[in-house]
Structure 1
Amino acid sequence: MTTSFTGGCLCGLVRYQINGNPIRFYHCHCSRCRKASGTGNASNLMVELESYQWTKGEHLIKHFKVPEAERFTNYFCSECGSPLPKIRPNMGIAVIPAGTLDSAPAMKPQAHIFWTSRIEWSCESGDLPVFEEYQSDS
């Protein structure tokens, strides 16, 4: 069964919709995710790119590509500064900041990644597995 869910930024000027099932759901503890989220980790849901679409305010989206990073680009609303989904055409996915969703997805977080980069005051692992790097389906 395919799910459909929506999300957007804090001011509501940028909106998106997903028509498909999430692929992965990770808590990332890398230093770049910490800086971009302003907290101890970023909780990100990955979806197939073809299941994702902007529905409102795409012209308000800005992004910042970390020059020395192979893949890290931060997308955000130019009005309110809220983080927004990161489009990764070369990987065929959209990376959704879970806090921008309007409701909780059916999938629960699966793991903590970049655990060795974790800041000491961040959340504990709980029952989730921890990995030193990004984990893919392979």
Structure 2
Amino acid sequence: MQESILKLDPKPAHIVVDGNSPFIPKGGIKNRAGKIFTDAEIDILNSIPNADIIKGDAKFLSIAAASVLAKTYRDEYMNKIRREFPIYSWKQNKGYPTKEHREAIRIYGVTKYHRMTFPLLPEQLKFNL
């Protein structure tokens, strides 16, 4: 999300995010999902007022619209990758691991599509990548 915000021109005046995860974590932004931000990028992100809104899609039309677009894209993307890796049952889990999906991870490991910042297994195994 932070990388996307940095690409916007003009920069947003305010950001509202659905959920309980702040746009700017308490420890600040250093490294998110493998991206190491420069000091200049951190300054830009920190300069934008923002709020995380629990159940924001029910309170803000902009969040509701973004949610619909994100879910539509996610569903199309999951259909694409399920054809490449059918053993992971991505059609059923829509990006959130089901019991069957987790068992496939245990047996076959992860793919380039797995979100390594997301708990893949209940005990969150560490993978040697």
TM-score, length-normalised on structure 1?
0.21
Larger radius of gyration: 2
TM-score, length-normalised on structure 2?
0.22
Which structure shows the higher strand fraction?
1
Q: Which has the higher contact order (CA 8 A, sep 6+)?
A: 1
